[in-house]
Amino acid sequence: MRARVCLAFALAAGVAAAGDLPRKVYAHYMGCFCAGTDAIWWHAQSGLGTMDFPGEVVNQKDPLKRDIVSVINRAKNAPSFGGTYRNFALAPTRRLSREVAADLEIRRAMRIGVDGFTFDAWAGGQGARDLFDLMFRICEERDYPFELTVTLDTTCLDVKDPGLKQYEGNQWVKTLKWLVDKHGKSPKLARRNGKLLVLGYQSVWPWVGHLWDVVGKKTGWEDKAKIEAEVMRLRSTPEGWALIGEAYREIERQVGQPIYWEFCLSAFEHGLTPAAQANLKPFAPDPRVKAVEIIAKDLPAIGMFLWEGRDVPGVARAALGAGAEWCHPMKLQYENYGWLQIASPGLDWVRGDWAAAREWPSTLIQLITWNDYHENTNLSPGINTRYAYYDLMGHFIQWWKTGRPPASDHDRVYIFSHKYTHGSRVFPFKEKTRADNVIEVLTILPRPARMRLPGREAEWDAQAGMSFRQVPLTAGPVVAELLRDGKVEIRLEHPEPVSDRPFRQDTGKTAISTEEARLWREDFGPDEPMYVYSEYGDVDGDGLPNWFEMLWFGKFGDMATATVADPNADPDGDGKSNLEEWRAQTDPTQPPAAPPVPSEPKL
């Protein structure tokens, strides 16, 4: 029966082979983080609230009464690491209207060749759905060549969501019924091969829910431990993997139409018991390979969020060999302060992933992510990465779609760096992990040039087209110069120098490019002053880095307060000036505690 239903769906859709479908890329979109407005705007403007400090500290106007170090030492969560945000949206500091901000996001994505947004359903709850509706209206009214769909994120779905209460079914079914009901007839709804396109994140969970239903109905619901043991067995064997297609067909049946699914393998082994893990040993080194050989017979696209498992090339071969599309994971870095912090050595991961997407090949991509600033995976312009990563990804997208590296009609220079050196001490915040790295300068040139990094003893010949050079991450300014015939034609100075006195852990990249002013004007016009953020720079040239003045004496994150401290003042009266406190990595607002008075020995 299942085979007949699948065949009927296929005939109705007019199936094309995966290799015949157009190459399309959708950016994973967090509906709670629209650039320049709402939640992400508030976070960026909230001062110490950015770092999750208690309200009484955030609202304390007197710097000498904040006692930041004591708060850090008492904290057992985010404040002790300086919060969980690092790279906010690049936009004016004034709040944009939601419609202006939504239009900005769409135009930015289209400019680099992104075909649409896939909303994380529903990070941001009803507010995310409202933004989703707004983007549909904008795309329809302005006839943008841009599509919208959803990624089912079980961690953000609630079967009791009041905004979906009119629909029957589980949390996945309710969301898709809402989508079809609200936007099923829109020409801007993403479709593939004639079907509604739905992308994946941790796609195991609808299947796991289905397994519970199957086992519970078979054995009865009295013995939950027995049901769980059988579900674990099915999760770790080909017998259970063969039911993944059935689970997704059941969702289609309840929604009332066929769906073009991307099955995301993230969390495939999450939460398995030791007995279930033992079941996977015959499929070493990576059981996902065998699983995908089965899954890809029923679902049209296979992908993952990060490079996960021990044989990603094998997983891709299995998907392609079964006739499915491979959705290659794209990543620069990942910063989740409750779990993992990683960053590509230079841009090695980026180049490698796009090469794999071209060569294996990948024909459908979910970019991770457009705007998850909380985990610092954002492709969209950010205050640390600026337009550099964003613009460069446009180059790779065009290359992937056309099969040819695009030529540039002007010199493009990109610098990717980090905020501090490997062995430096962090103060006042605590450190969770390190991420050693390098400085990379990448160029895309219409003709060869000589490149050099003043003060870093690095000089080389850059060829026409794309090339790069990596140098050690050492403290000091980061400047790149492009020369021809011995004359400097371009001097690009990074606003964020490399420090050897970091104030908090920040494993993510900083970046700058020659394209900043052009892209800012395209986004905001010629009259909007460009916003430049820097923590380790020194905007007033007084010897104190911007972060020191903002954190201790101003409003953290507000560059207007990066000039408020006198380097020669001694506000806590301990005999050390602010400049000396910075050099020694000590608290300039609280004098050192007096040593305890020795007690008299007891006789």
* DSSP-derived secondary structure for 271-310: T--HHHHHHTGGGTT-HHHHHHHHHTTTSSEEE-SSS-SS
Residue 280 near residue 290, CB atoms below 8 Å? no
Distance, in Å, from the CA atom of 178 to the CA atom of 272, rounded to the nearest integer, reads: 32
Distance, in Å, from the CA atom of 68 to the CA atom of 71, rounded to the nearest integer, reads: 5
Distance, in Å, from the CA atom of 50 to the CA atom of 34, rounded to the nearest integer, reads: 17
What mean pLDDT value characterizes the chain? 94
- Confidence at residue 184, expressed as pLDDT on a 0 to 100 scale: 98
- Confidence at residue 433, expressed as pLDDT on a 0 to 100 scale: 76
The 10s digit of each residue's pLDDT in 400-410 is 999 999 999 99
The sign of the CA dihedral 86, 88, 94, 95 is: negative
Q: Which of 118-122, 210-214, 591-595 has the least mean pLDDT?
A: 591-595
- Confidence at residue 143, expressed as pLDDT on a 0 to 100 scale: 99
Does the structure show a pLDDT above 70 at 509?
A: yes
Report CA-CA distances (Å) from 595 to 466, 591, 592, 599.
60, 12, 9, 12
- Confidence at residue 598, expressed as pLDDT on a 0 to 100 scale: 61
- Confidence at residue 3, expressed as pLDDT on a 0 to 100 scale: 37
Tell me the two tokens of residue 548.
């020191």
DSSP string, 402-454: HSSPPP-SS-EEEEEE-SB-TTPPP-SS--------EEEEEEEESS-EEEEET
Residue 263 near residue 299, CB atoms below 8 Å? yes
Q: 258: closest CA among 200, 300, 291, 211?
A: 300
Q: Where are the beta strands (DSSP E) in 40-194?
A: 116-121, 147-153, 191-192
Q: Which of 47-51, 306-310, 468-472, 594-598 has the least mean pLDDT?
A: 594-598
According to DSSP, the β-strands at 479-484 and 449-453 are antiparallel
The 10s digit of each residue's pLDDT in 528-584 is 999 999 999 999 999 999 999 999 999 999 999 999 999 999 999 999 999 999 999
Partner residues linked to 197 by β-bridges: 260
The 10s digit of each residue's pLDDT in 116-173 is 999 999 999 999 999 999 999 999 999 999 999 999 999 999 999 999 999 999 999 9
DSSP character at residue 68: H
Residue 172 near residue 157, CB atoms below 8 Å? yes
Tell me the two tokens of residue 383.
């205050």
Q: 23: closest CA among 317, 313, 361, 305?
A: 361
Residue 537 near residue 496, CB atoms below 8 Å? yes
- Confidence at residue 597, expressed as pLDDT on a 0 to 100 scale: 58
Distance, in Å, from the CA atom of 199 to the CA atom of 394, rounded to the nearest integer, reads: 21
Tell me the two tokens of residue 229.
């043991």
Q: What is the CATH number of domain 21-31+98-402?
A: 3.20.20.80
- b/e per residue, 386-421, with b = 16+ CB within 10 A? bbbbbbbbbbbbebbbeeeebeeeebbbbbbbbbbb
The 10s digit of each residue's pLDDT in 433-446 is 776 799 999 999 99
Confidence of residue 215 (pLDDT cuts 50, 70, 90): very high
Q: Where are the domains of the chain?
A: 21-31+98-402, 37-88, 415-584
